[in-house]
Amino acid sequence: MVAPAAPRDRLLFVDGLRGFALVCMVLNHTARWWMDGRMTWPRYHLIYVSMTLAAPAFLFLVGFCIPLAVRRPGGPTEQPSLARLARRFVGRGLMVVLAGMLLNVVVFPAEPFWSWGVLQTVGLSLIALVPALWLLRYPAAAGLLLGAAAALYVGFSLAFERLVVWVEAHPRMAHLWFYEFPPWPWVSLPLVGLVLGWWWLDARARSPAAERRYFAACAVAGGALLTAFFALDWLVATPLRFGLKRDFILNRHWAPRGLTLLWIFGTLLLLLATHYYVMEVRGRRLSWLLTLSQTALFLYFVHQVVALSLVNERLGWRFNRWDLFILANAVLVVGLVGLGRLWIAARRLARRLRAMPGAPSIA
């Protein structure tokens, strides 16, 4: 099957990283749902590492990409009003939040439909970043937004013990406010992504050489953060380097603590620089990653229906051998790429039909 061409205004490295994050999300879910505890520590570490790569990358890219709304590559910077930005993103954010609730109804019927998840945080972030994006027209705003992101995280850290008590006292409300990737503290990550995306477009506007220096700096910073993570981890002799016990666990869900932040930001920056180098500098298109990215929301639904509702719950299949697990995931990813390309083709056909003379329209 021929891969769909990327739209001209899409940036390949951003799509590549989003596609990579979706693959990590698939691995995280299949490791949970397709293997049992008998797979011991390798399974546990796979779940943890894929979790720390997937959702943070999705949330970071929400912020990193949103400056493109006012600063198209190669074009002038627009200064739309706050109301215009709200009209563009608030409705889209609400739709993503509702999509997350629909996913709960379809895939997790035993849980309240209002239970929070990563999709809801993505949608809320789109809304919350509107005033932040508007503020970036002022030179001091970038530093203030980074400070706000840090303050949100530090505030969560300081309030953690009290939040544990609150969650136990209000279990129904806790499903909404403090469940999977809750807004506090996770909105901090899109805020950081917003500032880094703004700085990237600054560099891109200056020259191709400045843009390459920007991503070289990302690679150096990412490598330094990872080096610091492993060095400090060795010095403090963490019993379980890649494990949940080193982090915050609130309402049975994870948030990074302390040194884990070095791992998350280090891997994010390295992945960003690597995808830029491979796909923009070297020109490697990696069309299967582009397909996964361009249909990420659709495939986010589909892979959970297949992996949990069909394979785990209905068929009861388990892949408690690594060769079978790897093969099953390869089949799943290939199938998702095929479905994604069919979805893209269907959307294109629908657009052509709507554009035909005499096609019905809604007034």
Q: What pLDDT does residue 75 have?
A: 59
- Tracing tokens 């899109």 back to the chain, one arrives at 190
Are 249 and 332 part of one and the same domain? no
Nearest CA to 134 out of 92, 90, 96 is that of 90
| Helix, strand or coil, per DSSP, at residue 22 | helix
Does residue 336 share a domain with residue 219?
A: no
Query: What is the C-alpha separation between 51 and 211, in angstroms, rounded?
Result: 30
Q: 260: which DSSP letter?
A: H
Domain that holds residue 143: 36-269
27 and 44 in a single domain? The answer is no
Q: Is residue 121 part of a domain?
A: yes
**Of 269, 300, 328, which closes a domain?**
269
Residue 359 lies in a domain: no
14 and 119 assigned to the same domain: no
CB 345 within 8 A of CB 338: no
Q: What pLDDT was estimated at residue 360?
A: 53
Task: Give the whole-angstrom CA distance, residue 298 versus residue 295.
Answer: 5
- 236 and 117 in one domain? yes
In a domain, 275, yes or no: no
**Domain presence at residue 102:** yes
Structure tokens that stand for 316 in this block: 């009861």
Final residue of a structural domain among 213, 235, 269: 269
Q: What's the structural domain count of the chain?
A: 2
The predicted-structure confidence for 71-87, as pLDDT tens digits, reads as follows 776 556 677 888 889 98
Residues 126 and 96: beta-carbon distance below 8 Å: yes
Which tokens belong to 7? 């739209």
The reply to whether 207 and 60 lie within a common domain is yes
pLDDT at 73: 63
Whether 232 is in a domain gets the answer yes
Helix (H, G, I), strand (E, B), or coil: what is residue 58? helix
Q: Do residues 170 and 235 both lie within one domain?
A: yes
In this structure, are 344 and 213 located in the same domain? no
Task: Tell me, yes or no, whether 29 and 163 share the same domain.
Answer: no
What is each CA distance from 148 to 125, 183, 201, 242, 259, in whole angstroms? 14, 14, 21, 28, 20
**Two tokens, residue 146:** 């980074």
What's the pLDDT tens digit per position in 103-132?
999 998 888 888 888 999 999 999 999 999
279 is a domain residue: no
223 and 248 in a common domain: yes
- Let me know whether 44 and 185 are in one domain: yes
- The pLDDT assigned to 3 comes to 40
* Ordered per-residue pLDDT tens for the chain, 363 residues: 434 333 444 689 999 999 999 999 999 999 999 998 777 888 999 999 999 999 999 999 999 999 988 877 655 667 788 888 998 999 999 999 999 999 999 998 888 888 888 999 999 999 999 999 999 988 899 999 999 999 999 999 999 999 999 999 998 888 889 988 999 999 999 999 999 999 999 999 899 999 999 999 999 999 999 999 999 888 887 777 777 788 899 988 999 998 899 999 999 999 999 999 999 999 898 999 999 999 999 999 999 999 999 999 999 999 999 999 999 999 999 999 999 999 999 988 888 877 777 655 544
Percent of the chain at pLDDT > 90 equals 69
47 lies in the same domain as 12: no
Is residue 277 included in any domain, yes or no?
Answer: no
Q: Given 237, 269, 301, which residue is the final one in a domain? A: 269
CB-based contacts of 145, cutoff 8 Å, min separation 6: 132, 135, 136, 191, 194, 195
User: What pLDDT score does 1 carry?
Assistant: 43
Q: Is residue 361 part of a domain?
A: no
